[in-house]
Amino acid sequence: MREDPFSFDIQGPNYIPSEYDNHIQRKLSSMKGQYLNQVAYNDMLYQDDVLLYQVFELKRQEVEGELLHGISIVHPGKVGDEYFMTKGHYHTVLETAEIYFILNGQGYIVMETPEGDSAVEELTKGKVLYVPPRWAHRSVNIDSEEDLVMFFVYPGNAGHDYGTIETQGFKKLVMEIDGKPEIIDNPRWTSPEGK
């Protein structure tokens, strides 16, 4: 890991950073239970364990004061009528924020707090999105052809808590209805605090 200042490039059309240390590939099989239409999920998985999204990370120490950063690329597609999306997570250290800069594509970021507050922000190329401390976050690609590409940066000590979202899902879902993206209430959602 480099201790001196450094720079690197992120260029289209593929937006893969010119330097990275970790390459995470998340396939359909890692999203069990997350999509509303479980029949569609199982049918699709039976055909092929498709690649939903990729993350390219530059390694930094996971300590306060460091900034973890890299690129996430959510590919276009749907499971049933629900768009390809990231697993989504809280930060283990809840009081840590995150910034996204959208480099390509269009979509939504779905967010919520442990208290059951919910927010959905539109993502378009050139937009900066600030995720405040305490907000779980998931990105969703609504384009039928383009990758949703985002630069992310967050504190080194944040950590990831996937378990809460795996159990509860998010309060809001992004589905295609009559050919258009719509934000709907997740019928299976219950508040993490039982409210």
**Residue 72 contact partner, candidates Zn ion, ligand S6P, none, CB within 5 to 8 A by sort of partner:** ligand S6P
Token pair 């967010």 in the structure block, residue: 111
**Residue 139 contact partner, candidates ligand S6P, Zn ion, none, CB within 5 to 8 A by sort of partner:** ligand S6P
DSSP 135-152: -EEEEEE--SSS-EEEEE
Range 31-70, binding ligand S6P (CB under 6 A): 55
In contact, 123 and 106? CB cutoff 8 Å: yes
Range 127-186, binding ligand S6P (CB under 6 A): 137, 139, 152, 154, 160
Distance of CA 8 to the CA centre of its chain: 23
Q: Is 105 left (phi over 0), alpha (psi -120 to 50) or beta?
A: left
Output the six-digit token pair for 17. 């950073």
Residues that bind Zn ion (CB under 5 A): 98
89 interacts with ligand S6P by CB under 6 A: yes
87 interacts with ligand S6P by CB under 6 A: yes
Specify the residue, 43 or 125, whose C-beta has the smaller distance to ligand S6P. Answer: 125
